[in-house]
Amino acid sequence: MEKKVRKPLRKTISELLCFICISSLLVSLFSFTALAEDTNSSSSINSNDKISTSLSSKLGEISKTEKVPVIIELPNQNIKFNTAAGKSQIESEQKNLVKFLESEKSKSNAQEIKSIKLINAIAVKVTPGVVASLAKRSDVARIEPDQIVSIPEQSETSLEKVKISTTQSNAASTDAWGIDKIDAPAVWKQGITGKGITVAVVDTGIDATHNDLDDLDDSSSTNDPKVVGWIDYVNSQSSAYDDNGHGTHVSGTISGTGANGIQTGVAPGTKLIVAKVFDSEGSGYLSDSILGFEWAVNNNARIISFSGGSSEHSSLFTTTINKVVAAGIVPVIAAGNDGLYGSGTINCPGDEINSVTVGATDSSSSIAYFSSRGPVTLSGQTYIKPDVSAPGVSVPSTYPGGGYASGSGTSMATPHVSGTAALILQKNPTMKPSEVKQKLESTAKDLGSTGKDNDYGSGLINAYKAVFGSALSSPVANFSASPTSGKVPLTVAFTDTSTGTPTKWKWSFGDGTTSVQQNPKHKYSKAGSYTVVLTAANAAGSNTVTKTNYIVVVSKPAAA
C-alpha cells in the first residue's frame, strides 16, 4: 500500500498561482492568434461558397501536390483600374494576398503569380491546400478556374494560302470580296480610312514585317509603323511574331493596306497594338486574355478586336467587358462557330450584353451554317445575339511570310466590324461605345426575319451608311481628257469626273485596249477617231458613259 505524503500548504498555493498564470497566458495567446486569423478569414461567408463549382470538381480530380490555375477575385470591384489612384489602391488591396502567395511559392505550393488590375484579381497556379487556405481569407471574394480560352474552331480548320497574280509592282491591289460587300472603299473615297484610331488585336500575334502591315503609307522613305504596340503573354518575346497565323489574318482584315496585292483592310489607315494571348495551337488562359484587354485600355486603344472565346461562361468576362466599355473602348467579339448545334450557342464573351457580337455571312449574304446563334440568357436576362453580321466565309487576308490566306469563321467576320468601328470613330471621335454599337446596328442591312434576330442580329453591316448615315447611291459616270486630238503617237490623260462615289472603273479606249485605273493615261499609236467608254461602279450599282469619236488622232505629214 502506497503511503500518502501531504504537501505543505505554502507549496500548494504556489503551484495553484502558477497554474492560473500559465492558463491566463495561454488564453491570451489563443485570443491573439484568433484575432490575427480573423483579419484574413471570412466569418460571414462559408469558405466553400467562395470556390466555384467547376473548380471544386477539378480539385477533386488532382493530387495534393498538383497545381491548378485559378483566378482569385478580390471583393472591391468598384475601383477605376486605369487611373493612377486606382492602380495604387488595387496594389494596396492585393499586397497581403500577394505576400501570402509568395510565401506559398517558396514552399513550391504556388507559381506564376499575375496581378490583374482590370478586375482586381490575381491569377496563380496553386495546390488544393492553398485553395482551401485562400477561401478562408476575408480579402478573397471568389476563386474561379483560370479556364482555357481559344480561337473558335473554324469550319475550315486551316487557313489556306491564296495565290495571287496581282503584285505591287504591276498593278493596284484587288479588293477582298468582304471589303466591297460592306461598301468600305466608298468610305475611303471620302477621306475616311481609320486614320488616328488605334485598334487592339488580342489574338495569336502578328507578322509586323508583312508589306501590308509594316507601315501606314507603304513608303520605304517614311518611318510610320502600323504596329505601334506589342506584348506577349505566352512566351514573353519582345518582338512581334505570329506562330499560328490567325492574328495576322485578323489584323489584315482590320488594317491591311494592300501593298502586296490584295486590299484586305476595312480601315487601312488605322494603327494596331497587338497582345499575344493564344499559343501556336490557338489556346490560352482566361487570365491572359483579360490581361490583354487591360493592356489595350492602358495603351490608348479605341477598339478591341477579339476573335476568341469559350463555350463555358465566365463571370470574370462580365466584369471585364463592362469595365472596358466604361473606359470608352468598343469590344468587338466573335459569336463563335457552334451554329451547327442550333440556338443558344453564342460563346463567351460574345454572350455579354455590352459586347458587339459578330456573326458570319457568305458572299451571298446568307448566314454561315457554323455561325453561333442566340438567344443568350445571362444574369436573369434573355436577349438577342449576335448584334450584327459581316463577311466570314472564304475571306482572304494577310498571312505570315508576306502572303495571303483564305479562312472561314466568325473570327474572319469580327475584324470587318472592328475596322468599320474605326471608320465610324474617325468621323465621330467622341462617340461612346454604346453609340458605336447602335450605329452599326441601325445602319445594317436587315436579313433573315424582320428586325433583329438570333441568326443575323440586326443584319449585315454597311460601312458607308454607318459612317455617313445614308445609303450609298449608284454613281453617274463621266470623264474628261487632255488632249482630245493630236498627231501619232498621241498620249492622252483621262480624268474620272463621275459623281456618286464610284469605287471601280473600267475604261475602253476604242482601240481594243482597256484599263481599270481611275485616271489612266493611254497612248494611241494609229491615226483614227476613237470612241471612249467608261463604266463607273460601286456596291450600289454601276453607270456607263460613251463619248463617240472623242479622241481624234491624225497621221504625221509625209516628209518632203
Active site residue 180: no
The kind and range of the H/E element at 269 are none
Q: Which of 268, 205, 196 is nearest to 240 (CA)?
A: 205
Residue of 133, 155, 210, 246 marked catalytic: 246
From its phi and psi, is residue 508 left (phi > 0), alpha (psi between -120 and 50) or beta?
A: beta
Cell matching residue 544: 456607263
The runs of H, that is alpha helices, within 451-550 are 463-468
Cell matching residue 455: 441568326
Q: Which of 335, 322, 319 is nearest to 116 (CA)?
A: 319
Q: Which of 187, 26, 172 is nearest to 518 (CA)?
A: 172
**Cβ pair 296, 304 in contact under 8 A:** yes
The three-point CA angle 509-512-517 to 5° equals: 45
Residue of 139, 146, 180, 203 marked catalytic: 203
Report d(CA 110, CA 126) in Å as an integer. 4
Question: Which residues have C-beta within 8 Å of that of residue 114, sequence separation ≥ 6?
Answer: 122, 123, 124, 287, 291
Strands 514-515 and 521-524, how do they pair?
unpaired
Q: What are phi and psi of 229, to 5 degrees?
A: -155, 145
The three-point CA angle 223-227-232 to 5° equals: 135
Q: Is 456 exposed, middle or buried (0-12, 13-18, 19+ CB in 10 A)?
A: buried
Which letter does DSSP use for residue 517 in this model?
A: S
Q: What are phi and psi of 315, to 5 degrees?
A: -65, -20
Active site residue 288: no
Residue of 411, 418, 458, 498 marked catalytic: 411
Q: Which of 402, 395, 405, 414 is nearest to 214 (CA)?
A: 402
Active site residue 289: no
**Cβ pair 194, 255 in contact under 8 A:** yes
> Which is it for the CA torsion 234, 349, 81, 123, positive or negative?
negative
Indicate which residues carry an active-site annotation.
203, 246, 411
